């Protein structure tokens, strides 16, 4: 949302749509979702019609390939290139080897993913609400790197009286943890009744 983009900018991040595939001890991880990346990350500067592919290898680290991947011209160029290859009888294997030689790989469950998380909670203005949220996080072994809370603006009521402020957005940035721990903590926080809307979660990608 626009609010998350605003908070990301404030915290030094950009939100990008990423497709990620990596081998982990739990299996092959495959994900496609909006993610937060640091502003100084190479992929954070990929905008407009440009797309990028990053390959993380040992010992060279992250290698980026960037080019135009959207718009009338780039799309037409790709389609024509495919047609020319077909006309010439060029049939390169999609994955570099014949499909008949591919073998299935164990897939990693998304809840096994480990990383940092951006969490936006719409918290009721009640005594002890934030302490209860922090306790839930601690119960699941989740450490918080930073917390951002917008200044509360009370509503004007009767003369000499201020009504409680509306629910306020609170941003939590976690240190590296498991998705299963984060999801479990959020489920319990929602059940506790301290938040007014469904929590928003965005994974943070370090890209190397």
Cα-Cα end-to-end distance for the chain? 26
Dist CA 196 CA 164 (whole Å)? 14
pLDDT in tens, 22-49: 988 889 999 999 999 999 998 999 988 8
Omega of the bond leading into 59 within 30 degrees of 0 (cis): yes
CA angle, residues 51, 18, 21, in degrees to nearest 5: 110
Domains in the chain (CATH in brackets) are 14-101 (no CATH), 110-204 (3.30.70.260)
| 62: Cβ contacts below 8 Å, ≥ 6 apart | 42, 54, 55, 56, 207, 208
Residue 102's pLDDT is what? 84
Residue 169's pLDDT is what? 92
Residue of 117 and 56 predicted with greater confidence: 117
Is pLDDT above 80 for 160? no
pLDDT in tens, 64-104: 889 887 778 888 888 898 899 889 888 777 777 888 888 88
- Rank 58-62, 64-68, 193-197, 199-203 by mean pLDDT and report only the highest: 199-203
Annotate 168-202 with b (16+ C-beta within 10 A) or e (fewer).
bbbbbbbeebbbebbbbbbebbeeeebbeeebbeb
pLDDT band at 173 (very low <50, low <70, confident <90, very high): very high
Q: What is the mean pLDDT of the chain?
A: 88
pLDDT in tens, 6-18: 999 999 999 999 9
């Amino acid at each position: 949302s626009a609010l998350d983009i605003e908070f990301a900018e404030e915290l030094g991040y950009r939100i990008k749509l990423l497709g990620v595939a990596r081998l982990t001890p739990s299996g092959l991880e495959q994900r496609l979702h909006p993610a937060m990346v640091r502003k100084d990350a190479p992929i954070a500067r990929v905008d407009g019609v440009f797309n990028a592919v990053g390959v993380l290898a040992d010992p060279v680290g992250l290698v980026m390939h960037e080019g135009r991947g959207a718009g009338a011209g780039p799309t037409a160029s790709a389609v024509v290139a495919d047609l020319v290859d077909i006309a010439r009888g060029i049939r390169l294997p999609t994955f570099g080897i014949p499909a008949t030689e591919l073998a299935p790989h164990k897939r990693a469950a998304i809840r096994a993913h480990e990383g940092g998380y951006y969490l936006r909670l719409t918290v009721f203005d009640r005594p002890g609400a934030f302490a209860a949220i922090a306790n839930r996080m601690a119960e699941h072994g989740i450490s918080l790197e930073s917390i951002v809370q917008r200044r509360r603006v009370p509503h004007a009521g009767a003369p000499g009286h201020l009504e409680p402020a509306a629910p306020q957005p609170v941003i939590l940035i976690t240190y590296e943890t498991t998705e299963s721990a984060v999801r479990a903590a959020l489920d319990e926080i929602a059940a506790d009744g301290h938040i007014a809307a469904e929590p928003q979660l965005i994974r943070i990608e370090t890209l190397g």
